[in-house]
Structure 1
């Protein structure tokens, strides 16, 4: 089977965001895996409007050119790693809006997550998992949580001077588990989608 194409999605669009730091770190970890070809996908690059289509693209093709560009980009991938902050016990508004701009493009694919904040983005990642159910996605069991003192130590805004490599004793095993599961489910869902496409073509 060919390599799994994985998007590492940066979920915050703020100028002062921290998300680029863990995104680059998990990108490197993912690309160390022989089964994965990963790239960063930055929501900020797509200038998405607040969702204002007639309906989800499960029912009606989207009219906004930037939304269609986003959908086409998302469709390139076999799975995703969402790098997400936690805003008031949920994912960022920018990520929720980006997710809502597509539907069919997410279906029957795998995702993992890297969360950061005082509790490591744990509640945001749980929120993301419930959204994934509606999108017909498969979530990895494991996720990476950059939390507490480790978060403060690596966040420049809090005076942190350490790198994510410095705190790998705390988060490295979780990253490995998440990537192991991403590969397993990614290969399984990719094979199933390919089988389904062959069956539909034969009808």
Structure 2
């Protein structure tokens, strides 16, 4: 079975990312590969891990983790074959919490596939472009198709004038189609890369 994690990349109170991630998981449930049990798509919420700012004394490439929170995060990431990163755009980039979570680990990311669901005024496109550069460094193959959700047309708000209203993710048909294509690409690449993946994090040899 191919396991895909949908990672909620924002930990901000009142974030919209949780609604977006739930939409991704719910939409993925209709994929034939998920229905017949060949693929599992699961939600992974960074907020549930309560990671501090990177506090490991040894670089992640050595896989010598001193803290329980790092080992818990490493075990979670190691168990997946691919990822969907759900990210807002903060000041032309993606959230610090997501970069911090990526930086905690190294080998656990290797030889896996990833796709991106961005959201924001500009659809999170600039955040995704920066994430693609980070993916290359941790040896993740990022797929071409991505989803860009606009705050103006892809969310429904109870009170549009209330900045604390997170709203509900209600994407149009073209974004549903794009997500389906992206998930198919992630599954295909995750399966293709499987022979290269180590069974567990391997420390760097020196």
Identify the TM-score tier after normalising by the shorter chain. Answer: 0.7 to 0.9
Q: Secondary structure, in 3 states, of the residue corresponding to 1:170?
A: helix
Structure number with the higher helix fraction is 1
1:59 aligns with 2:57: no
Count of residues in Structure 1 that have an aligned counterpart in Structure 2: 191
User: Distance in 2 between the 1:186 and 1:128 partners?
Assistant: 18
How do 1:1-203 and structure 2 match up within 5 A?
3-33=1-31, 34=33, 35-151=38-154, 153-155=155-157, 158=160, 164-165=169-170, 167-193=171-197
Shift of 1:164: 4.0
User: Distance in 1 between the 2:190 and 2:156 partners?
Assistant: 30
Unaligned runs of 5+ in 1: 198-203
Moved more, 95-104 or 52-61: 52-61
Shift of 1:14: 1.3
Query: Runs in 1 of length 4+ with deviation above 6 angstroms?
Result: none
Shift of 1:54: 2.3
Cα RMSD of the aligned pairs, angstroms, is 2.1
Unaligned runs of 5+ in 2: 200-206
Shift of 1:186: 1.0
Q: Which has the higher contact order (CA 8 A, sep 6+)?
A: 2
User: Distance in 2 between the 1:177 and 1:185 partners?
Assistant: 12
With normalisation by structure 1, the TM-score equals 0.86
User: Distance in 2 between the 1:157 and 1:77 partners?
Assistant: 38
